[in-house]
């Protein structure tokens, strides 16, 4: 019984580690495309509030970093929920 508990903890750790690697890799193109699609909105916000949101070649770096961070967090949380539900249904005691 103790062996089964250790195996489950090890599998959970491997699953979370895999998701921690997968989420940023999958978020990179999503954040890149999403940031450039937000460029017209950022331009309007920049003229309204006078903050540097877009540069001469596209959105500011901190905007990309913010979108990337939020995308990674949301994607990681979603993957954890999806994989947890699937693994909890497959367990038979």
Q: What is the pLDDT along the chain (93 residues), one digit of tens a residue?
A: 567 778 888 888 898 999 999 999 999 999 999 999 998 998 898 889 888 888 777 788 889 999 999 999 999 999 999 888 655 555 554
* Spatial CB neighbours of 1, under 8 Å, sequence gap ≥ 6: none
Q: Where are the domains of the chain?
A: 14-90
Tell me how crowded residue 53 is: count the other CB atoms within 10 A of its CB.
19
pTM recorded for the entire structure? 0.78
Radius of gyration of the chain (CA): 20
In sequence order, the β-bridge partners of residue 22 are none
How far apart are the C-alpha atoms of 44 and 41, rounded to whole Å?
Answer: 5
What percent helix, strand, coil does the chain show, rounded to 5?
A: 85, 5, 15
């Amino acid at each position: 019984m103790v062996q089964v508990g250790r195996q489950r903890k090890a599998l959970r750790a491997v699953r979370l580690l895999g998701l921690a690697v997968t989420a940023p890799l999958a978020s990179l193109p999503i954040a890149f495309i999403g940031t450039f699609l937000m460029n017209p909105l950022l331009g309007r916000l920049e003229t309204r509030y006078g903050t540097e949101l877009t540069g001469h070649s596209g959105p500011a770096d901190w905007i990309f970093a913010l979108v990337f961070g939020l995308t990674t967090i949301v994607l990681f949380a979603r993957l954890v929920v999806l994989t947890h539900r699937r693994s909890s249904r497959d367990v038979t005691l």
